[in-house]
Amino acid sequence: MLTSFILRALDRRTSIVLLVILGIGILLPVLNLATDPSSPFHVPTYVLTLLGKYLTYALLALSVDLVWGFCGILSLGHGAFFALGGYGMGMYLMRQIGDRGTYGNPILPDFMVFLNWKELPWFWTGFDHFWFAAIIVLLVPGLLAFVFGWFAFRSRVTGVYLSIITQAMTYALLLAFFRNDMGFGGNNGLTDFKDILGFDIQADATRGALFFASALALAAGFWICRAVIASKFGKVLVAVRDAESRTRFIGYRVEGYKLVVWTLSAMMAGVAGALYVPQVGIINPGEFAPANSIEAVIWVAVGGRGTLIGPIVGALLVNFGKTWFTSGMMAEYWLFVLGSLFVLVTLFLPKGVVGTLMAKKDRKPAEKPIEDVVAPGAAVQAAE
């Protein structure tokens, strides 16, 4: 059942996208490791890490698009799920430091020693195992999304109201994680990581592996989204987006559909966060900032919501732009650029870059039906 569900989604376009993502995922680390730094084909490690970060952003954008583009749920708080996944991974990486921290405590991370804590809080138990952290990375964002969605969707909170509560959710988490006594490192967050799965986190080979893992996760996320959208479930999602009450009156319990896709999307965002943290080397409460979630929405809007390739392209484009722009003297104007980008795209490219290109490509076969629709009206006018 599951295999046929997954295989059904594998049409030509999907296969090409998957091959491209995985191809890049293998090629760039190879160019980094196997070529001489003087070679024109050499990819420096810092570029590899930067692009790896972009890939995790692309996965976050994909998760936002799954709920916004296909089910009409505009989340302004997906950064929360991303950050929670990041903290899950961060806690594992903290435990891997062992006695190499500044205070040399084999059990307690530095910030706990600094706060004069004597033992590990209960919620840090198990994070010395990678498998445990990996489960938490999926489970915690998924559980938060499930509980949040259970209440919000059952009470039929929709549209702008829902967007505002998602924003409030991520802001509340931001404030909570800033507190030192929460036990997550306060405003400094978690950093100074040394090893992941026993490998030096700074080593080129580890960076390459993390880059490949990010590409793999993005490809898997794309495939899963594609399978969901291609199924009858996916058609119901689009139906909810187009006419929610009609969907109810033909017998679908809309809140169940929203809850499933919302939880799935949050888990994808959690995985993205978990892959982000070892590559940037830090996770702090700033990741919960509402602005981050809004940025993710802008990536989706720029790329094209309601297409699955769009958010990936959008996340890459906007972040290339951000890196390029903020490294020059115009750096302080970046937020103005981002803001105007959002306004301009909404006004002139409502379907986003990919959506517009796809509409152009598909226009030819669609032309005939449109003419036919006009014809009866024209006939009536002629008769008058």
Partner 1 sequence: MNTPIDSTKVAHAKAKDSLLYLDGVSVSFDGFKALRGLSLVIEPGEMRAIIGPNGAGKTTMMDVITGKTKPDSGDVYFAGDTDLTRMDEASIASLGIGRKFQKPTVFESHTVWDNIDLALAGVRKPFATLFHRTTKAEIARVEEILETIRLTDKRDWLAANLSHGQKQWLEIGMLLAQEPKLLLVDEPAAGMTDAETAETAILLKEIAKTKSVVVVEHDMTFVRDLDVKVTVLHEGSVLSEGSLDVVSADPKVIEVYLGR
- Applying CB under 8 A, the residues found at the interface with partner 1 are 1-2, 4-5, 228, 231-233, 235-236, 238-239, 241-243, 245-254, 256-257, 259-260, 366, 369-370, 373, 376-377, 380
Shortest distance (Å) from residue 151 CB to partner 1 = 17
Q: Which residues pair with 199 in a beta bridge?
A: 196
Of the pair 112, 224, the CB lying nearest partner 1 is at 224
Nearest approach, Cβ of 353 to partner 1 (angstroms)? 19
143 vs 141: CA distance, rounded Å: 6
d(CA 282, CA 284): 7
Question: Cβ(60)–Cβ(315) under 8 Å?
Answer: yes
What's the min distance (Å) between Cβ of 141 and partner 1?
Answer: 19
Contact 311, 300 (CB under 8 A): yes
Q: Select 198 or 376, whichever has its Cβ closest to partner 1.
A: 376
Q: Sort strands 190-191 and 195-196 into parallel, antiparallel or unpaired.
A: unpaired
**C-alpha atoms less than 13 angstroms from C-alpha of 274 in its C-beta half-sphere:** 27
In whole angstroms, the minimum distance from the beta carbon of 233 to partner 1 comes to 4
Shortest Å distance, C-beta 66 to partner 1 = 14
Whole-number Å distance between alpha carbons of 317 and 325 = 12
Q: Which residue, 43 or 73, has its beta carbon nearer to partner 1?
A: 73
Q: Evaluate the CA torsion angle 45, 51, 53, 59 in order and state its sign.
A: negative
CB of 238 to partner 1, least distance (A): 6
Q: Which is nearer to partner 1, 25 or 72 (CB)?
A: 72
Q: Please report how close the Cβ of residue 243 comes to partner 1 at its closest, in angstroms.
A: 5
The CA distance from 358 to 310, in Å, is 10
Q: H/E element holding 283?
A: strand 282-283
C-beta closer to partner 1: residue 43 or 266:
266
Plot region of 190 (φ>0 → left; ψ -120 to 50 → alpha; else → beta): beta
C-beta closer to partner 1: residue 95 or 258:
258
Answer yes or no: are the C-beta atoms of 123 and 131 closer than 8 Å. no
* E strand or H helix at 108: none
Nearer to partner 1, 216 or 357 (CB): 357
- Which residue's CB is nearer to partner 1, number 51 or number 66? 66
CB of 166 to partner 1, least distance (A): 21
Q: Rounded CA gap, 231 and 227, in Å?
A: 6
Q: What whole-number distance in Å separates Cα of residue 10 and Cα of residue 14?
A: 6
Nearer to partner 1, 343 or 380 (CB): 380
- Closer to partner 1 by Cβ: residue 173 or 228: 228
Q: What are the beta bridge partners of residue 282? A: 191
CB of 73 to partner 1, least distance (A): 15
Q: How far is CA 104 from CA 46, 94, 122, 184, in A?
A: 29, 13, 21, 19
Residue 56's CB: how many other CB atoms inside 10 A?
28
* Distance in angstroms (rounded) separating the CA atoms of residues 300 and 306: 9
- What is the maximal distance between C-alpha atoms in the chain? 91
Q: Nearest approach, Cβ of 2 to partner 1 (angstroms)?
A: 8
